[in-house]
């Protein structure tokens, strides 16, 4: 009974600190982002509502990014307070095991990891795309900046097809001035479709006013003009919006979309290393929250003083250093993975492996 009361107390203190610190980190990132982009805003002079919506849609992404480091600092902060009022000493004196003290913290951290994974796939990626569209198309007014309309688009499709499109509207599901090449395993053209327009209808593109050519050993064997032609492929309008991604973009992209891209590239025989690295980074990052919790629960039992301010300062400095190196290893892993110097799985999880190893060493030292 006493253990349950203790667990509730620790969890309540942790949640309060976690919400406060997460809000503080997100606010700091928002202010930093605004200061970085203020020259762009002044140059383009967008409406206040556009600026408001842009940063509003970026909040979910910033929250997802900050969650692991907010977890680490909140754990260090509550243990600092426990030391200040000798509560940690009282727990030890009562014979309460180390693992009983940290159990609710680790359970909460693993729950937040899975929650982060879920939110990333449902809210973060959609909100991030909207923020990117607002900035590129509505604030900076780039011609091809948004995700809805593209011009002069080249797209690798399924079953060895390559699409060349002069005009593409993903919202309406329309493309104009189309050329579709189908390649064999040796990258020889076996079929070429040219059409004035294509419209997406459920599981196919309905092409109008075009020509179908077939080839054998690079020699044209047949030519067929058509008014309408049904091209049954898996390449829906949403699959045509493919962009090169920065480390920030990689943490926002939807996992299922990445899986689809990887599948298409595999089927077509093209290199999919970069997409696979992004896929594993996307899977790995939410579990950083649990790994930071392992680090956080160990540190106060190894290095602590009775001075609350000193402990809080050490916790803050430690959190900044850990966040810097964690994100740094993600960037290094991505670069090495994209270059083929590391397997995609290792490149995506390298930061987690390093800090999990560090956390387990700390746990081992605590129990010695």
Q: Is the pLDDT of residue 327 over 50?
A: yes
pLDDT tens for each residue of 203-242: 788 899 999 999 988 788 899 999 999 888 877 766 665 4
* Most confidently predicted of 18-27, 188-197, 301-310: 18-27
Better-scored residue on pLDDT, 238 or 341: 341
Cα 302 to the chain's mean position, in Å? 33
CA 327, CA 203: separation in Å to the nearest integer? 40
CA 133, CA 354: separation in Å to the nearest integer? 35
CA 320, CA 311: separation in Å to the nearest integer? 14
* Most confidently predicted of 3-12, 152-161, 264-273, 283-292: 283-292
Position 111 scores a pLDDT of 95
Return the SS3 of 341. Answer: coil
Q: Is the pLDDT of residue 21 over 90?
A: yes
How many other CB atoms are found less than 10 A from the CB of residue 159?
Answer: 12
Position 288 scores a pLDDT of 95
- Residue 154, strand partner residues: 164
pLDDT tens for each residue of 154-198: 777 777 788 888 887 765 678 889 888 888 877 788 899 999 998
Residues of the chain with pLDDT > 70: what percent? 86
How many other CB atoms are found less than 10 A from the CB of residue 95?
Answer: 7
Q: Is the pLDDT of residue 311 over 90?
A: no
Better-scored residue on pLDDT, 27 or 217: 27
CA 97, CA 82: separation in Å to the nearest integer? 16
Return the SS3 of 144. Answer: coil
The tally of CA atoms less than 13 A away on the side-chain side of residue 245 is: 25
- Contact between 275 and 262 under an 8 Å Cβ cutoff? The reply is yes
Instruction: Give the chain's largest Cα–Cα span.
Output: 88
pLDDT tens for each residue of 28-67: 999 999 999 999 888 988 899 999 999 999 999 999 999 9
CA 285, CA 117: separation in Å to the nearest integer? 8
Q: What is the mean pLDDT of the chain?
A: 83
Helical ranges in 206-343 per DSSP H:
247-250, 255-268, 273-284, 288-302, 308-338
Of 41-55, 180-194, 251-265, 283-297, least confident by mean pLDDT is 251-265
Position 24 scores a pLDDT of 94
CA 236, CA 170: separation in Å to the nearest integer? 9
DSSP conformational letter for 27:
H
User: Tokens at residue 125, please?
Assistant: 């990626």
Contacts of 35 (CB under 8 A, 6+ apart): none
Q: Give 4's pLDDT tier (boundaries 50, 70, 90).
A: confident
Position 145 scores a pLDDT of 47
Return the SS3 of 271. Answer: coil
Q: Is the pLDDT of residue 303 over 70?
A: no
**Residue 351's closest CA among 270, 273, 279, 292?**
292
Position 153 scores a pLDDT of 74
CA 61, CA 151: separation in Å to the nearest integer? 28
pLDDT tens for each residue of 71-129: 999 998 888 888 777 777 777 777 777 788 888 999 999 999 999 989 888 888 888 88
Domain regions of the chain by residue span: 2-141+279-367, 149-239
Helix (H) or strand (E) run with residue 230 in it: strand 219-231
Q: Is the pLDDT of residue 268 over 60?
A: no
Return the SS3 of 157. Answer: coil
CA 236, CA 368: separation in Å to the nearest integer? 58
The tally of CA atoms less than 13 A away on the side-chain side of residue 341 is: 7
């Amino acid at each position: 009974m006493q253990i349950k009361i203790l667990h509730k107390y620790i969890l309540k203190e942790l949640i309060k600190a976690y919400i406060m610190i997460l809000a503080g980190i997100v606010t700091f990132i928002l202010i930093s982002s605004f200061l970085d982009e203020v020259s762009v805003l002044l140059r383009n002079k967008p409406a206040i509502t556009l600026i408001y919506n842009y940063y509003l849609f970026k909040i979910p992404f910033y929250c997802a990014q900050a969650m692991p480091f907010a977890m680490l600092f909140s754990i260090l902060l509550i243990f600092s307070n426990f030391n200040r009022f000798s509560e940690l000493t009282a727990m030890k004196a009562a014979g309460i095991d180390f693992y009983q003290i940290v159990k609710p913290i680790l359970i909460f951290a693993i729950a937040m990891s899975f929650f982060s994974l879920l939110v990333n796939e449902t809210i973060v990626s959609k909100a991030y795309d909207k923020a990117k569209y607002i900035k590129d198309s509505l604030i900076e007014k780039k011609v091809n900046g948004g995700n809805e309309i593209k011009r002069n688009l080249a797209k690798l499709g399924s079953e060895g097809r390559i699409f060349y499109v002069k005009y593409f509207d993903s919202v309406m599901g329309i493309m104009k001035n189309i050329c579709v090449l189908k390649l064999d395993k040796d990258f020889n053209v076996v079929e070429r479709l040219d059409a004035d327009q294509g419209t997406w209808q459920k599981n196919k593109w309905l092409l109008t006013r075009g020509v179908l050519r077939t080839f054998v050993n690079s020699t044209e064997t047949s030519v067929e003009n058509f008014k309408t032609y049904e091209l049954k492929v898996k390449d829906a309008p949403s699959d045509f919006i493919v962009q090169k991604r920065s480390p920030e973009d990689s943490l926002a992209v939807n996992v299922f979309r990445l899986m689809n891209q990887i599948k298409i590239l595999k089927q077509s025989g093209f290199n999919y290393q970069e997409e696979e690295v992004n896929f594993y980074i996307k899977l790995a990052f939410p579990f950083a929250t649990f790994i930071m919790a392992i680090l956080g629960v160990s540190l106060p039992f190894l290095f602590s003083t009775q001075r609350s301010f000193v402990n809080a300062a050490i916790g803050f400095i430690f959190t900044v250093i850990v966040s810097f190196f964690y994100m740094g290893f993600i960037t290094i892993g991505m670069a090495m993975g994209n270059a083929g110097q590391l397997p995609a799985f290792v490149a995506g999880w390298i930061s987690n492996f390093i800090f999990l190893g560090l956390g387990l060493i700390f746990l081992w030292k605590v129990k010695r």
